[in-house]
Amino acid sequence: MAAASGGSAQDYLPDSRDLVSLADAAAGCRGCDLYRDAEQTVFGAGPASARMLLVGEQPGDREDRAGEPFVGPAGRLLDKALSAAAIDRGQVYLTNAVKHFKFTRASGSKRRIHKTPSRTEVVACRPWLFAELQAIEPEVVVLLGATAAKALLGTDFRLTEHRGEVLRAPEADYAVVTTPHPSSVLRGPAERRAAGFGDLVHDLGTAAGLLVSTGRRR
Ligand code: URA
Ligand code: SF4
């Protein structure tokens, strides 16, 4: 058994790489220390046949309790943006760069406050994301926010410079579009919210347009 520090999700990957086997195996992952304080692994969700895969940062408080990605406030905003871009949530696969909720507690408070995962945690957890990408073979991957973008495109990637562009991950046969994270739209200054939401809808539309134009069917 790998020690929690210096380990990675790689040590927990099952032989069989279909989504159900992956989710089962991920439930027991101890590839980094984040499993210790969280309730459960929040694996990706959606059909194996999805042509579009969306990657967030990590589950939040609500997702940690529910065991499902994007079911809290950020998920509600994402749902609105998907609808506005005419994308059916039921047809896309939703996942996160990191599969356990990382948080701190303000002293004396029960409230769990989101903490951005470290690069070490992102890299430790990435084998799950790679395995999801392999199992699904999406045509388009939407990276929501800087953590997801850096997980797939490298730490030099600057979302502010490249958001909304159609990119390609190294050695990948899917297109990539990066866009603001729904939580950053929610938490941002009020006067930026409408513009941030507009960017998100626009970039989701760009990603959906790639599906129409490639027309690949399985
Ligand atoms: N934020 C994310 O990045 N992912 C979720 O699943 C929920 C909130
Ligand atoms: Fe495993 Fe990822 Fe959870 Fe760390 S965050 S224990 S690597 S599933």
Q: Write the CATH number for 43.
A: 3.40.470.10
**Low pLDDT (below 50) residues in the chain:** 1-4, 218
Give the mutation target among 70, 102, 143 for probing the ligand 1 site: most ligand atoms within 8 A of CB: 70
What pLDDT score does 214 carry? 61
Q: What pLDDT does residue 188 have?
A: 87
Residue 1 lies in a domain: no
- 74 Cβ inside 6 Å of ligand 1: yes
Q: For position 170, what pLDDT does the model report?
A: 77
The per-residue pLDDT for 216 is 56
Which atom of ligand 2 lies at the shortest distance from residue 117's CA? 5
Q: What is the pLDDT of residue 2?
A: 43
- Continuous H helices in the chain: 19-26, 61-66, 73-84, 119-136, 145-153, 159-162, 182-187, 190-214
Domain annotation covers residue 199: yes
Q: What is the pTM (predicted TM-score) of this model?
A: 0.94
Structural domain of residue 121, as residue ranges? Answer: 9-212
79 HSE (CA, 13 A, CB side): 9
Q: Whose CA is nearest to atom 3 of ligand 2?
A: 100
The count of domains in the chain is: 1
Q: Alpha-carbon distance 90 to 78, whole Å? A: 13
> Does the residue 62 lie in any domain?
yes
Which residue among 22, 29, 130 has the greatest number of ligand 2 atoms within 8 angstroms of its CB, and so is best to mutate?
A: 29
Residues in contact with 200: Cβ distance below 8 Å, sequence separation at least 6, in sequence order: 78, 81, 179, 180, 182, 185
Residue 10's H or E segment, with its range, is none
Regarding the beta carbon of 34 and ligand 2, being less than 6 Å apart is answered yes
Position 89 in a domain: yes
> Is 217 within the bounds of a domain?
no
Residue 172 confidence (pLDDT): 87
Determine, yes or no, domain membership for 24. Answer: yes
Which of 132, 135, 139 is closest to 148 using CA atoms? Answer: 132
Residue 66, in any domain of the structure: yes
Which protein residue's CA is at the shortest distance from atom 4 of ligand 2? 32
Tell me whether residue 96 is in a domain.
yes
Kindly give the distance from the C-alpha atom of residue 168 to the centroid of ligand 1, in angstroms, as a whole number. Answer: 23
- Ligand 1: does its nearest atom lie under 6 Å from the Cβ of 59? yes
The whole-number pLDDT of residue 107 equals 83
Grouping H, G, I as helix, E, B as strand and the rest as coil, residue 24 is: helix
Does the beta carbon of 131 sit less than 6 angstroms from any atom of ligand 2?
A: no
Contact 115, 105 (CB under 8 A): no
Residue 96: CB atoms within 10 A of its CB come to 28
